[in-house]
Amino acid sequence: METSSKQLHIGLAGLGNVGSGVYKNLIRNKDILQERTGSQLQVAKVAVRDLNRQREVKVAPEILTTDWRDLVDDPAIDVVVELIGGDEEAFELISAALHARKAVVTGNKAVLAKHGKRLIELSEEKNTPLYCEAAVAGGIPIIKAVKEALVGNRIDSIYGIINGTSNYILTRMTKAGISFAEALQEASDKGFAEADPSLDVNGWDAGHKAIILGWLSYGRWLKPEEISVTGIEDISSEDVAFADSLGYEIKLLGVIRQDQADERIEVRVAPCLIPRTHILSSVDGVFNAVAVHGNVVGETLFYGSGAGQDATSSAVISDLADAAKNLINEVGCTGFVPQGDYGVALPIEETISQYYLRLGVVDEPGVLAKISNIMGENSIGILSVIQPEPKEPSTHIPLVLLLHDAEYGKVSNAMRKILALEAVETEHTLLRVETLEH
Ligand code: HSE
């Protein structure tokens, strides 16, 4: 690959929220980028779905096309930026670009979580780089941090608030008292949510990012169907209030861990209670934060905007700058993980944490004893119990328990028995309490 007169010719596929941000900010910081990379970063062609759509940025009509293949087939284009979203067509686009030996920049976590193994193999086979800084945590440079700055560490654990939309919704529900639906609408209006926001609220956007972090940390891909993902849809204001009174915040958390003595990798996403004494609990709104524990560096924390046009385009542009420098220096594939194979996921039943359990129970003698017996039979210790005095006479009352560290398999076994008790309602909440020790 060669650059003509140190220009990086960019083919931009997708001119939605992030694509427009990339286009706009490349112009805004053109001089800085040229000074720092030694190249002019020039958008040469843009693929859009609809030529007539009104857009925030003005693009010369002669560089617009409705077919991304025009970018891949254009010999003058050095790098293709994939911002079309989705997975299958994006996979086709990225594969075609790598086959054509064009560097690729993508912010697409779904395509990497599903097809990352194949795409990285292809990137290596074609000795053509695939960059993905924008795929995890928006503007936070976490990919480069884990890949480069922490390369000398064994990664003990990563705990991350890695979905801006969910965090925004939880913060607005907690601090402004607005409804889930209103908060989600705000997040969509601000350009934080995915085109399909169900991926944000059902936890899968964070799940895809957690798979990428697992691969970066341990060199292995886990298949989406092997990890456990729960979203924030069922979080109630009652649980938020109980968590608050116990000294916790509820956050959607991605956990990526591997025990040194076990090759299985723990990757999971779920809303959890985080102690208010931990800095992650104060990460609010669209902000993301990723706590990485390395065996050399110890604890590190990366914080910043996790979604939105400018934050995400900052990450895309950093990859374009790398592409420009690597092209000048004739650096090919920038592979950085020793193995790209599939790994083995730690089954969710074997994962260990503390738990918060809210039950609705009949207010009669002996109920608590029955519940604690079942816990005891499953070797689950009870850390504390709250049974708030009812404000008005009621036959059913909430009962909140905090449980000691326990395997999920044991907790779920105990839950089956507890929910079968006549005095216990089926509607309940079971959330992990993460102490965030590595
Ligand atoms: N929808 C994503 C989020 C965008 O809210 O975090 C950034 O990946």
Spell out which residues line ligand 1, taking CB within 6 angstroms: 138, 163-165, 192-194, 200, 205, 306-307
401-430, pLDDT tens digit by residue?
Answer: 999 999 999 999 999 999 999 999 999 999
Distance 214 CA to ligand 1 centre (A): 18
| Chain segment 177-216, per-residue pLDDT in tens | 888 999 999 999 999 999 889 999 999 999 999 999 999 9
Q: How far is the CA of 134 from the centre of ligand 1 (A)?
A: 10
Question: What CATH number is attached to the domain comprising 218?
Answer: 3.30.360.10
**In terms of domains, do 65 and 203 share one?**
no
What does the H/E/C string look like for the chain? CCCCCCEEEEEEECCCHHHHHHHHHHHHCHHHHHHHHCCEEEEEEEECCCCCCCCCCCCCHHHEECCCHHHHHCCCCCEEEECCCCCHHHHHHHHHHHHCCCEEEECCHHHHHHHHHHHHHHHHHCCCCEECHHHCCCCCCHHHHHHHHCCCCCEEEEEEECCHHHHHHHHHHHHCCCCHHHHHHHHHHCCCCCCCCHHHHCCHHHHHHHHHHHHHHHCCECCHHHCEECCCCCCCHHHHHHHHHHCEEEEEEEEEECCCCCCCEEEEEEEEEEECCCHHHHCCCCEEEEEEEECCCEEEEEEEECCCHHHHHHHHHHHHHHHHHHHHCCCCCCCCCCCCCECCECCHHHCEEEEEEEEEEECCCCHHHHHHHHHHHCCCCEEEEECCCCCCCCCEEEEEEEEEEEEHHHHHHHHHHHHCCCCECCCCEEEEECCCCC
Point out the catalytic residue in the list 102, 109, 126, 209: 209
Compute the mean pLDDT over every residue in the chain, rounded to the nearest whole number: 94
Domain hosting residue 241, numbered range:
142-305
What's the CATH number where 399 sits? 3.30.70.260
Domain presence at residue 1: no
pLDDT of res. 174: 87
State pTM to two decimals: 0.95
Q: Are residues 122 and 50 in the same domain?
A: yes
- Give the distance (Å) from ligand 1 centre to CA of residue 164: 5
In a domain, 130, yes or no: yes
321 and 234 co-located in one domain: no
- Report if residue 45 sits inside a domain: yes
Distance 163 CA to ligand 1 centre (A): 5
More confident residue, 303 or 334: 303
141 CA to centre of ligand 1 in angstroms: 14
Pocket test for ligand 1, best of 133, 190, 200, 232 (most atoms within 8 A of CB): 200
Q: Are residues 86 and 206 in the same domain?
A: no
Looking at the CA of residue 199, tell me the nearest atom of ligand 1: 1
Shared domain for 29 and 125, answered yes or no, is: yes
- Which ligand 1 atom is at minimum distance from the Cα of 165? 5
Span of 253-257, 270-274, 331-335 with lowest mean pLDDT: 331-335
Question: Across residues 143-158, what is the average pLDDT?
Answer: 95
CATH of residue 18: 3.40.50.720
Which of 106, 108, 136, 192 to mutate for ligand 1's pocket (most ligand atoms within 8 Å of CB)? 192
Claim to verify: residue 291 and residue 190 sit in the same structural domain: yes
Q: What is the pLDDT of residue 394?
A: 74
Question: Taking a C-beta distance cutoff of 8 angstroms, is the pair 214, 220 a contact?
Answer: yes
pLDDT on residue 398: 93
Q: Is residue 229 included in any domain, yes or no?
A: yes
Going by pLDDT thresholds of 50, 70 and 90, the confidence category of residue 389 is confident
Same domain? 251 vs 196: yes
Both 401 and 379 in one domain: the answer is yes
Q: Is residue 291 part of a domain?
A: yes
- Is residue 409 in a domain? yes
CB 428 within 8 A of CB 357: yes
Residue 38: inside a domain, yes or no?
yes
- Which atom of ligand 1 is least distant from the CA of 138? 7
- What pLDDT score does 390 carry? 76
Let me know if residue 221 belongs to a domain: yes
Q: How many domains in the chain?
A: 3
Q: Is the pLDDT of residue 221 over 70?
A: yes
Specify whether 273 is located in the same domain as 175. Answer: yes
One domain for residues 405 and 379:
yes
Active site annotation includes 147: no
Q: Do residues 290 and 156 share a domain? A: yes
Residue 333 in this model has a pLDDT that exceeds 80: no
Question: How does pLDDT run across 8-64, given as a tens digit for each residue?
Answer: 999 999 999 999 999 999 999 999 999 999 999 999 999 999 999 999 899 999 999
**pLDDT for 75 beyond 60:** yes
Same structural domain, 313 and 377: no
Ligand 1 centroid–CA 421 distance in Å is: 41
Minimum-distance ligand 1 atom for the alpha carbon of 162: 6
Q: Whose CA is nearest to atom 4 of ligand 1?
A: 307
What pLDDT digit, counting tens, does each position of 265-304 carry?
Answer: 999 999 999 999 999 999 999 999 999 999 999 999 999 9
